[in-house]
Amino acid sequence: MSSVIGIVSVALVASLFMSFTVGANSNSAPIAPAVGANALSTLRGALLVGLVAGLGAIAQGGSISETIGHGLVTGVTITPLAATATLLTAATLITIGNSRGYPIPSAFTVTGAAIGAGVALGGGFAAGTYAKILGFWFAIPVVEGILAYGLAWLLLDDRVSDELSIPLLAGGVGYALANIQLSFLPAPQSEQGSLAGVITRQFDVTLTAVGEAGVVIVGTVIGLLTVAVVYWQLRRDVTTGINRMLVALALVVVFTSGGSQVGLATGPLESVFESSLGLPSLYLLGLGGLGILLGGWFRSPRLIQAVAREYAALGPKRSIAAFIPAFLIAQAAIALGYPISFNKVMISSIVGAGLVSGSSKSAGVSATKTGYTVGAWIASMIGGGALSYALYHALAALPGLG
């Protein structure tokens, strides 16, 4: 019994370490375009990363945590020892990349490590799940690059007024925010609710076809209110209005990044919390949110500067164009329960928006840096799986742990 308690304690510490690393690494990228556009200072950006990403982790982190904990291997239940091997391997690799200035994709690393430890435990490959996740990953740079490029082209086109294009884009984001699922909002059948759904039910509209239409109507009203607020800001002062829009979008994306990334740190412990501790997953998400907050505060400034300065020197409009696709893709991943790397999400958007200027050189996009990063993505998943497999067997061979 004492050895089990010891392993669980190590696994909890490893999860906190991993969430700290994720907070320093993956959740830093969303704020970088705002820093690059001089709408925020690096230190203020790091402070907001910790607070907002930590809140997002608790509010939206459950679905991806479930996939990491139960959906990547078949036939076995992840043990505390396997969870420890997964988290120690992933956090170590990401920390090494962080110290070298190369953002390592957390999703690739954790997914590879979780599969490696699960197979070492005797589990089988969940091939169907892998196909869906890999398909989503491969689609990210293509879809995001096209969307970011198109939005940047629209925003930089002098024929389209800023007072028309920016409020309309803000309204679309407002509509999406009204319909995302949040853990602290009630819904029927004990599911997560959305803001639009909660408001609709306040008017006693039942969840029939009429009720679904009510949710759409409420979401549309919230979107239109967002349009009005942003338009009013732009009418007062265009530069100030654009910068405030940029910062608001940055915070929305950081919130989303917390929800999409915390599961990478907490997922391996899902089974441990259920079987060994008998605690609800909300406590686990709280632990992950704390780690992300601390990581964002203490370690993110360097990564913020790396992404903001080295990948693309974006202005405010191209930064807005980078944020919106990142937000939409990440929310889709949360809804589907697919782990994603927010480094990959943000870099794809930044490159797509940056290329509008006509060439990678003039856009500030470093082809060499981007190439090294892609290599790190591939190596992190394969290396994470192999190292986690080996570490599990090494730990299992120790007296009292096997």
Predicted local confidence at residue 178, as pLDDT: 92
How far is Cα 258 from Cα 330, in angstroms, rounded to an integer?
10
pLDDT by 10-residue block (mean), the chain, 402 residues: 68 84 74 74 84 90 89 88 88 75 75 93 91 91 92 90 92 94 73 78 60 79 94 90 88 91 87 70 85 84 68 73 92 92 81 70 55 72 92 83 61
Q: Per-residue pLDDT tens for 162-188?
A: 889 999 999 999 999 999 988 877 766
Distances (CA, A) of 23 to 298, 304, 316, 346, 373: 9, 12, 24, 15, 19
The Cα 90–Cα 113 span in angstroms is: 6
What's the pTM value of the predicted model, to 2 decimals?
0.84
Inter-residue contact 91 to 14 (CB < 8 Å): yes
| Nearest residue to 61 via CA among 26, 99, 88 | 26
The residue count of the chain comes to 402
For 43-57, how does the pLDDT look when each residue is reduced to its tens digit (9 = 90+)? 888 888 889 989 999
In sequence order, which residues have a C-beta less than 8 Å from that of residue 239 and are 6 or more positions away?
Answer: none
The single residue listed with the structure tokens 């903001």 is: 308
CA–CA dist 145, 256 (Å, integer): 19
